[in-house]
Amino acid sequence: MESELIDLFKSTRTATEELCEPLKTEDYSVQPFVDVSPPKWHLAHSTWFFEQFILAKYRQNYKVFDDDFSFLFNSYYNNVGERVLRPNRGNMTRPAVSEVYEYRTYVTTALIELLESNSSSEIEELVRLGINHEQQHQELLAYDIKYILGHQPTFPNFDTKLKLRAQSSPTHFVAIKEGVYDIGFEGNDFCFDNELGRHKVFLHDFEISNKLITNGEFLEFIEAGGYQNFNLWHAEGWDHIEKNEIVAPMYWHKVQGKWMYYQFNGLEEIELEQPVMNISFYEAFAFAEWKGMRLPTEFEWEVASDLFDWGHLWEWTNSAYLPYPNFSKQPGALGEYNGKFMVSQMVLRGGSFATAPNHSRKTYRNFFHPSCRWQFGGIRLAK
């Protein structure tokens, strides 16, 4: 067995745990909002994936850590039976956090033993899938931790290395010529099923900015009454901000006349030069309307991305999340993976400062519902 994969597996497992290390026990179990999962659930679910799809199948005489866990930390509820009580992520105080860490150790150890003793390309492919799955959950953990702590009335400091990088260069627009371009993943490395099916797309001439919109630029939009001018918004977006009384990005609070935001280390003043984040697709669209420009499509983004600096934040595109030609679901429970979300979501491209190293590539298709704001997403304009 190649030691590179074992090392990658180990470092991924460790990274998840290091990310959570500054949490208090109390922080692990709450679910303040339906899209947020408790950190404990992420820790256990990413472990369950390795147990369920690899150890239970390929490890001889493997004894599952706890029969309940496969039920409690499974997100694929539809393929398993009902029990007396359906688990409710946010109220699940048991098993305790310490037991979940024991579960992680148990599975990590068993998987390393499997890889060292008796591997195969089939197993390795699944391990790579599991690693990428856990890396996705690392990023979701960052979103969810920010949400949980950023909604404490005390705005506690969370001691993390996660921090947005500055954008250095001055703003300009990159021009791309019309033509037929190849889209989608190519090569032998890992990618998700939704990137596959390399295919051709015709693009017309367009220009795209080399920089993300900053907090300072977004503040101008706020102060120009952007949130009060329905002409800038989708009908659905307007209803959403009215109903939810949204007047600024998530985590922004006006304190004694001054805009502050929560950024992991407590409530602080808005940094004008940093890219604006924690905004919905509706807000990104309205901002672009206000500027007289538009968001790029995911295809424009993929073609142009070699020409600018990306990876600060996921970038909203004006593309709906739809299957590529010849997309096909994998058989079995893994087949639930991506296809079932291909409606009513918008694509984001790039990666964020919370994305695991080597987990981003220009063909990666992230996606969220247009109203979602808790993920680390920003705005790049095209015209």
Contact in structure between 192 and 365 (CB atoms under 8 Å): yes
Binding segment (CB under 8 A) for a second copy, from list 5-13, 122-130, 134-142, 147-155: 147-155
78 binds a second copy (CB under 8 A): yes
DSSP class per residue in 149-197: HHTSTT--B------PPPP-SPP-EEEE--EEEEES--SSS---GGG-S
257 binds a second copy (CB under 8 A): no
161 binds a second copy (CB under 8 A): no
Query: What whole-number distance in Å separates Cα of residue 285 and Cα of residue 294?
Result: 7
- Give residues 263-292 in contact with a second copy (rule: CB under 8 A): 267, 281-282, 285
CA-based R_g, the chain, Å? 22
85 binds a second copy (CB under 8 A): yes
Helix (H) / strand (E) element for 260: namely: strand 258-262
Angle at 286 between CA 285 and CA 291, to 5 degrees: 95
Q: Which of 165, 166, 199, 307 binds a second copy (CB under 8 A)?
A: 199
For residue 315, what are the β-bridge partners? Answer: 349, 378
62 binds a second copy (CB under 8 A): no
Q: Which of 35, 102, 124, 336 binds a second copy (CB under 8 A)?
A: 336
Count residues binding a second copy (CB under 8 A). 75
84 binds a second copy (CB under 8 A): yes
152 binds a second copy (CB under 8 A): yes
- Give residues 164-193 in contact with a second copy (rule: CB under 8 A): 178, 180
- Give residues 220-249 in contact with a second copy (rule: CB under 8 A): 230-231, 233-238
Closest CA to 165 of 212, 232, 223, 228: 212
**In the complex, what is the shortest distance from the CB of residue 149 to a second copy, in angstroms, rounded to a whole number?**
8
34 binds a second copy (CB under 8 A): no
What 3-state DSSP class applies to 325?
A: coil
